């Protein structure tokens, strides 16, 4: 080897060392290392994602209403005298209310989502990794396609629950049609000189009202729909409405809130006290829905001492067409007491009389706390005195009281 040849060999060796050394450093990485942690962002997301699907709780539509929280029902019921008598304890027996804490809770628990994952380990290769002079003999690196993300058990939701099986799941009872009766607007004299005084004028806008008390079948449909809660236990008395032979009887054993929930499901709410009395009297001053004759077994279902009606307890709604109101409402006297919206206030009539001599428009008294007495109307199958069935008579009950003689009907806008 000549000296010239040895110089050429040395120069080539130095060039190869320099090129190889520069190609081992990735200029795109500040640390010279392209590895990323794929779990960093996912872990952060898992820490910050809120838990979803907390159990939902049914609540009464009126936030002031309390379901079955009073330990004792102090409802005076049928022993309560007419008018503004103070409440007394029902001597027929008081049972503690059944708690409604077992209301089924709904809602779906979802697994915590961890959010988006970071890119997979091993990012794209560094560009420009070529040996000078090799472009004619060495193929460039093929494009690198990132592999698809593997399944992530923390973000994949479980499959939805199976739909109801119509061959094995019991079908809810069909909802019987609700008959609504239209009531025109008008002014009438509310109250009675001896039972509920003073008599005072009231003006009412047009409204409609269910022609009958809400039935067992209608209420069961509301329960089957997941809206209403069961009316199987009473704070007083055995409802005895749990057999299919009483589907057309009025539902009983319902609190004020339970009644309101059902009425709202049917498209209305409970009537106001003024609406109820206006409908019962047909806008006139008659004492009973049918007129002024005393109650008997052809007109209404009440206690056998007063009515020989053939029913020991409740009767199918609409069983006494001769006792219907002027507008065709059934059982506005007797069968079961009916909840109305108003708070019970013995001075309310006097206040209205003084405030609106020409008649307050659509009065509604909600000035009471959540456990204060509410008004009941119409009397029941337990009553043996005509005054209980008088259309102006006012009785009262604690709102969470559930009794075997108390039901409801609904009202709604026309
Ligand atoms: Ca009877
Ligand atoms: Ca009734």
Residues in CB range of 337: below 8 A, 6 or more apart:
376, 377, 378, 379, 380, 395, 397, 403, 405, 406, 407
Tell me the ligand closest to 376's alpha carbon: 2
Mean pLDDT of 245-272: 96
pTM over 0.85: no
User: Rounded to whole angstroms, how far apart are CA atoms 218 and 115?
Assistant: 47
pLDDT of residue 322: 98
- Ligand 1 centroid distance, CA of 403 (Å): 17
- Ligand 1 centroid distance, CA of 334 (Å): 9
- Ligand 2 centroid distance, CA of 107 (Å): 38
Query: Does residue 111 have a pLDDT over 90?
Result: no
pLDDT of residue 197: 97
- Ligand 2 centroid distance, CA of 210 (Å): 12
Name the residue with higher pLDDT: 334 or 173: 334
**Cα dihedral sign, 344-347-349-353:** negative
- Ligand 2 centroid distance, CA of 330 (Å): 8
pLDDT of residue 78: 42
pLDDT of residue 241: 79
- Ligand 2 centroid distance, CA of 185 (Å): 22
pLDDT tens for each residue of 8-54: 434 443 343 333 333 333 333 333 333 333 333 333 333 333 332 22
Tell me the ligand closest to 307's alpha carbon: 1
User: Rounded to whole angstroms, how far apart are CA atoms 321 and 118?
Assistant: 76
CATH of domain 180-412: 3.90.1580.10
What band does 352 get if pLDDT is binned at 50, 70 and 90?
Answer: very high
Strand order in the sheet with 180-183: 180-183, 207-210, 411-412
Q: Tell me the pLDDT of the chain averaged across its residues.
A: 72
What Å distances lie between residue 378 and 59, 368, 403, CA to CA?
28, 22, 15
- Ligand 1 centroid distance, CA of 338 (Å): 16
pLDDT of residue 242: 81
- Ligand 2 centroid distance, CA of 335 (Å): 5
Point out the least confidently predicted range of 3-17, 139-153, 168-182: 3-17
| Ion ligand 2: residues, Cβ under 5 Å | 331, 335, 378
pLDDT of residue 243: 81
Residue spans of the domains in the chain: they are: 3-102, 180-412
Cis peptide before 76 (omega within 30 of 0): no
Mean pLDDT of 129-156: 47
Tell me the ligand closest to 317's alpha carbon: 2
- Ligand 2 centroid distance, CA of 10 (Å): 117
pLDDT of residue 389: 98
pLDDT of residue 199: 98
Tell me the ligand closest to 330's alpha carbon: 2
pLDDT tens for each residue of 287-319: 999 999 999 999 999 999 999 999 999 999 999
Name the residue with higher pLDDT: 28 or 381: 381
In this structure, what DSSP letter does residue 244 have? Answer: G
- Ligand 1 centroid distance, CA of 318 (Å): 14
């Amino acid at each position: 080897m000549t000296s010239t040849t040895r110089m050429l060999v040395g120069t080539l060796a130095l060039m190869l060392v320099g090129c190889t050394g520069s190609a081992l450093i990735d200029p795109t990485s500040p640390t010279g290392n392209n590895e990323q942690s794929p779990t960093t962002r996912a872990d952060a997301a898992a820490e910050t994602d809120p838990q979803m699907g907390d159990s939902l709780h049914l609540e009464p539509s009126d936030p002031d209403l309390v379901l079955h929280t009073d330990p004792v029902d102090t409802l005076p019921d049928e022993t309560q005298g007419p008018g503004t008598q103070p409440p007394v304890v029902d001597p027929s027996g008081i049972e503690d209310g059944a708690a409604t804490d077992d209301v089924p809770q709904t809602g779906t628990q979802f697994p915590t989502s961890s959010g988006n994952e970071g890119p997979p380990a091993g990012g794209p290769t560094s560009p420009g990794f070529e040996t000078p002079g090799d472009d004619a003999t060495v193929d460039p690196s093929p494009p690198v396609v990132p592999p698809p993300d593997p399944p992530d058990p923390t973000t994949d939701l479980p499959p939805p629950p199976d739909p109801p099986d119509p061959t094995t799941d019991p079908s809810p009872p069909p909802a019987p049609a609700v008959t609504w009766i239209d009531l025109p607007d008008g002014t009438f004299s509310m109250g009675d000189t001896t039972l509920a005084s003073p008599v005072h004028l009231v003006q009412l806008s047009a409204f409609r009202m269910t022609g009958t008390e809400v039935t067992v079948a209608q209420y069961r449909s509301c329960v089957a729909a997941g809206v209403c809660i069961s009316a199987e236990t009473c704070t007083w008395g055995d409802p005895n409405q749990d057999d299919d032979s009483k589907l057309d009887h009025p539902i009983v054993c319902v609190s004020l809130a339970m009644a309101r929930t059902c009425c709202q499901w049917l498209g209305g709410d409970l009537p106001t006290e003024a609406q109820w009395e206006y409908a019962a009297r047909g806008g006139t001053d008659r004492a009973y829905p049918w007129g002024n004759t005393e109650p008997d077994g052809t007109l209404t279902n009440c206690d056998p001492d007063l009515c020989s009606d053939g029913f020991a307890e409740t009767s199918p709604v609409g069983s006494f067409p001769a006792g219907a109101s002027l507008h065709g409402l059934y059982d506005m006297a007797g069968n079961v007491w009916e909840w109305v919206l108003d708070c019970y206030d013995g001075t309310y009539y006097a206040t209205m009389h003084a405030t609106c001599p020409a008649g307050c428009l659509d009065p509604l008294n909600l000035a009471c706390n959540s456990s204060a007495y509410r008004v009941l109307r119409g009397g029941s199958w337990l009553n043996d005195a005509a005054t209980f069935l008088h259309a102006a008579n006012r009785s009262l009950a604690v709102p969470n009281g559930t009794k075997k003689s108390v039901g409801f009907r609904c009202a709604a806008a026309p």
